[in-house]
Structure 1
Amino acid sequence: MRKIVIAGNWKMFKTQAESQEFLSGFLPQLEETPSEREVVICPPFTDLSVLSKSLHGSRVQLGAQNVHWVENGAYTGEIAAPMLTEIGVRYVIIGHSERRQYFGETDETVNLRLKAAQNYGLTPILCVGETKQQRDAGETESLIISQLQKGLVDVDQTNLVIAYEPIWAIGTGDTCEAAEANRVIGLIRSQLQNPHVSIQYGGSVKPNNIDEIMAQPEIDGVLVGGASLEPDGFARIVNFR
């Protein structure tokens, strides 16, 4: 049985005070959310500790936006897995397109981060996806297969979430057609050893398209960017019909 995972990636938004204000408007709207839906919030590192306390006893899980591949060392600006698990983090986004584009993330470092996360009991959300240039060149399938083959070496597929995020649809307002997202996610599933891995769609997910996205048979949830920053909008996404 594949789990439905709805995750909000706050990126570099919200102070601690703003995150607390968000929860006050968001959590009351989850009272009738189906129990089988996993809800995850991935705030900036500075918000993790305060949100860990505020989310204790709630149905919302805490996620981080990255993790380093060693448990300590001279890696200025990085965060290790034990630092995350100590404060109750359960999920971690790895290989997001912005990390690949702006900070030099490679399939090889993605693989190291995935294994480090799993070694400490974290569930990684592995992001894969293509640029518009790659899609226009007909490279979508080969690129994604390559990302999976390189990223998943020695990775435990029983503790894994994958997010298909077409880069050309992130923060652009352009959404990949639901049927096309379903097709690509089906391709991703065909490359996995474990057919029960939850695979999300990410890319300009909004309250007004969530129902169509989640009606697709291969899609097991969404990784939401900007629309997760507003409590009513994110609650509508979590409570899709």
Structure 2
Amino acid sequence: MGQKSCGGTMGGQIVMITGSAKGIGRACAEAFLQQGAKVSLISRTASEMESTAKELLRMFPGKVSYFCGDVSSGEVVSKWFEKTRNDLGEPTSLVNNAAIFTNKKVQDQSLEDWEKVLRVNLTGSFLCAQQFFKSPSPSTVSRSIVNISSLAGIRGTEKFPGLSSYVASKFAIVGLTEALAVEGKALGIRVNCIAPGAVDTEMLRQAIPSMRAKAVPSDIAKIAVFLCNEKESSVLTGSTVEVFSNQ
């Protein structure tokens, strides 16, 4: 992919994206960069994060900052926000995308298995949102958070065995989104959620090998850009966009 835009619809924006070394997170980084934003990325896998960041920096010089660490750690999240401010400036948007899963039936899970998924998927999103809420508000720029849930976290959709902790975490992300949206109003922060169905990612192939997905990460990234664009989505907060695709 080549650099497509230096001043698109997100010019002047600084977007922080978790779980951004690959998959939906990386696609979000590319989409925001194409629309003129600067991005700050984080992943716990250093080799993948460094490779992705270097590739993006070649295409978008000076517009990418990155950090390696686990968002379930409050100390890591605090350091990531500090580095973002030093490298790029005050963040205007946050995409909480980082997620893991444990494919074990309930009777086979340890408490550690359960808590590990909740720490990354839910607590990590809370910690990042908390830091974002504490950040000084740029006077001329609206702010936005987009949380990535899943159709697995929506009532009445199909669920799969072995993913109870993942499903619980994604239901909780929808609830967290609605709660943050209420508190964010006073701070001028809109908070919305995307609940994708099957998306062609490495994570899906590991979790449900038999499933074939029509949607690709860039499809979800386009929605994230829309939700962070004040001109296009200013009336939306506390909303969840459910993404069904033909499979």
| TM-score band, normalised by shorter chain | 0.3 to 0.5
Which structure is higher in RCO with an 8 Å CA cutoff and minimum separation 6?
1
Greater helix proportion: 2
TM-score by length of 1: 0.40
